[in-house]
Protein backbone atom coordinates (compact mmCIF):
# COMPACT_ATOMS: atom_id res chain seq x y z
CA UNK A 1 0.00 0.00 0.00
CA UNK A 2 1.52 3.32 -1.07
CA UNK A 3 1.07 6.60 0.75
CA UNK A 4 -0.99 9.33 -0.88
CA UNK A 5 1.06 12.34 -2.02
CA UNK A 6 0.90 15.43 0.17
CA UNK A 7 -0.63 18.57 -1.41
CA UNK A 8 2.12 20.78 0.04
CA UNK A 9 5.07 21.71 -2.16
CA UNK A 10 8.22 19.73 -1.48
CA UNK A 11 10.25 21.07 1.43
CA UNK A 12 7.47 23.17 2.99
CA UNK A 13 6.16 21.87 6.28
CA UNK A 14 3.44 23.36 8.47
CA UNK A 15 1.25 26.44 8.13
CA UNK A 16 2.16 29.07 5.59
CA UNK A 17 0.18 31.83 7.31
CA UNK A 18 -0.26 33.49 10.68
CA UNK A 19 -3.10 35.59 12.11
CA UNK A 20 -2.16 38.76 14.05
CA UNK A 21 -4.47 41.19 15.85
CA UNK A 22 -3.73 44.86 15.10
CA UNK A 23 -4.12 47.91 17.39
CA UNK A 24 -7.79 48.27 16.35
CA UNK A 25 -8.76 44.74 17.41
CA UNK A 26 -8.93 43.48 13.81
CA UNK A 27 -7.35 40.17 12.92
CA UNK A 28 -5.09 40.31 9.88
CA UNK A 29 -3.83 37.24 8.06
CA UNK A 30 -0.23 37.20 6.89
CA UNK A 31 1.21 34.56 4.60
CA UNK A 32 4.83 33.55 4.58
CA UNK A 33 6.40 34.79 1.34
CA UNK A 34 7.77 31.90 -0.67
CA UNK A 35 11.08 33.73 -1.21
CA UNK A 36 12.47 34.50 2.26
CA UNK A 37 9.51 33.55 4.51
CA UNK A 38 8.77 37.15 5.60
CA UNK A 39 5.14 37.92 6.49
CA UNK A 40 2.96 39.47 3.78
CA UNK A 41 -0.57 40.65 4.66
CA UNK A 42 -3.61 39.70 2.63
CA UNK A 43 -4.11 42.48 0.08
CA UNK A 44 -0.41 43.24 -0.44
CA UNK A 45 1.11 42.53 -3.86
CA UNK A 46 4.65 41.17 -3.80
CA UNK A 47 6.38 40.05 -7.00
CA UNK A 48 7.50 36.39 -6.78
CA UNK A 49 11.13 37.39 -7.52
CA UNK A 50 11.24 39.76 -4.53
CA UNK A 51 13.01 38.56 -1.39
CA UNK A 52 11.11 39.27 1.86
CA UNK A 53 13.37 37.97 4.61
CA UNK A 54 12.08 36.14 7.66
CA UNK A 55 11.01 38.64 10.33
CA UNK A 56 9.96 41.35 7.84
CA UNK A 57 6.33 42.57 7.76
CA UNK A 58 4.48 43.80 4.68
CA UNK A 59 1.08 45.38 5.43
CA UNK A 60 -2.13 45.40 3.30
CA UNK A 61 -2.11 47.51 0.14
CA UNK A 62 1.68 47.48 -0.27
CA UNK A 63 3.08 46.93 -3.76
CA UNK A 64 6.55 45.42 -4.11
CA UNK A 65 8.06 45.12 -7.59
CA UNK A 66 10.43 42.57 -9.13
CA UNK A 67 13.91 42.11 -7.70
CA UNK A 68 13.26 43.98 -4.44
CA UNK A 69 15.05 42.85 -1.29
CA UNK A 70 13.37 43.51 2.08
CA UNK A 71 15.69 42.80 5.01
CA UNK A 72 15.02 40.96 8.25
CA UNK A 73 12.92 42.95 10.70
CA UNK A 74 11.89 45.63 8.18
CA UNK A 75 8.33 46.95 8.37
CA UNK A 76 6.51 48.25 5.31
CA UNK A 77 3.23 49.94 6.21
CA UNK A 78 -0.02 50.06 4.23
CA UNK A 79 -0.14 51.45 0.70
CA UNK A 80 3.63 51.95 0.34
CA UNK A 81 5.10 51.29 -3.12
CA UNK A 82 8.57 49.80 -3.58
CA UNK A 83 10.02 50.08 -7.11
CA UNK A 84 11.99 47.41 -9.00
CA UNK A 85 15.41 46.36 -7.68
CA UNK A 86 15.12 48.54 -4.53
CA UNK A 87 16.82 47.37 -1.35
CA UNK A 88 15.27 47.87 2.08
CA UNK A 89 17.87 46.99 4.71
CA UNK A 90 17.13 45.20 8.03
CA UNK A 91 14.97 47.01 10.60
CA UNK A 92 14.07 49.86 8.22
CA UNK A 93 10.57 51.30 8.58
CA UNK A 94 8.69 52.45 5.48
CA UNK A 95 5.61 54.38 6.61
CA UNK A 96 2.16 54.35 4.98
CA UNK A 97 1.92 55.80 1.49
CA UNK A 98 5.68 56.18 1.00
CA UNK A 99 7.13 55.56 -2.46
CA UNK A 100 10.62 54.11 -2.93
CA UNK A 101 11.94 54.53 -6.49
CA UNK A 102 13.50 51.83 -8.64
CA UNK A 103 17.00 50.87 -7.55
CA UNK A 104 16.90 52.99 -4.38
CA UNK A 105 18.70 51.76 -1.28
CA UNK A 106 17.26 52.37 2.21
CA UNK A 107 19.75 51.85 5.06
CA UNK A 108 19.58 49.87 8.28
CA UNK A 109 17.13 51.26 10.90
CA UNK A 110 16.16 54.15 8.60
CA UNK A 111 12.61 55.50 8.74
CA UNK A 112 10.89 56.85 5.64
CA UNK A 113 7.92 58.98 6.72
CA UNK A 114 4.28 58.89 5.62
CA UNK A 115 3.80 59.83 1.95
CA UNK A 116 7.54 60.52 1.55
CA UNK A 117 9.11 60.02 -1.89
CA UNK A 118 12.58 58.57 -2.48
CA UNK A 119 13.81 59.13 -6.04
CA UNK A 120 14.97 56.37 -8.35
CA UNK A 121 18.52 55.19 -7.59
CA UNK A 122 18.84 57.20 -4.36
CA UNK A 123 21.06 56.03 -1.52
CA UNK A 124 19.69 56.70 1.98
CA UNK A 125 22.16 55.77 4.71
CA UNK A 126 21.76 53.93 8.00
CA UNK A 127 19.84 55.43 10.95
CA UNK A 128 18.35 58.31 8.93
CA UNK A 129 14.87 59.81 9.23
CA UNK A 130 13.04 61.04 6.14
CA UNK A 131 10.21 63.30 7.26
CA UNK A 132 6.54 62.84 6.37
CA UNK A 133 5.85 64.11 2.84
CA UNK A 134 9.52 64.83 2.10
CA UNK A 135 10.89 64.19 -1.39
CA UNK A 136 14.53 63.05 -1.48
CA UNK A 137 16.92 62.50 -4.38
CA UNK A 138 20.60 61.60 -3.94
CA UNK A 139 23.56 60.80 -6.13
CA UNK A 140 25.24 57.37 -6.01
CA UNK A 141 27.28 58.42 -2.96
CA UNK A 142 24.19 59.42 -0.96
CA UNK A 143 24.69 63.20 -1.28
CA UNK A 144 21.36 64.98 -1.54
CA UNK A 145 20.56 66.73 -4.79
CA UNK A 146 18.87 70.12 -4.97
CA UNK A 147 15.13 69.92 -5.55
CA distance 80 to 95: 7
Across the range 107-130, mean pLDDT stands at 96
List the Cα angle 70/73/76 in 5-degree steps.
55
Got the DSSP string for 94-146? E-TT-EE-TT-EE-TT-EE-TT-EE-TT-EE-TT-EEPTT-EE-B-TTSPBPP
pLDDT digit string, tens, across residues 7-48? 544 444 556 788 888 778 888 899 999 999 999 999 999 999
Sign, CA dihedral 34-62-126-136, equals positive
pLDDT in the model for residue 139: 82
Amino acid sequence: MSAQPDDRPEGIVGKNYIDIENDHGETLRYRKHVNGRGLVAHGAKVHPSALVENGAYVEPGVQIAAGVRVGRGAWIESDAVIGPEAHIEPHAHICAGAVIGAGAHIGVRTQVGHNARIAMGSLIGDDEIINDGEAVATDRRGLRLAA
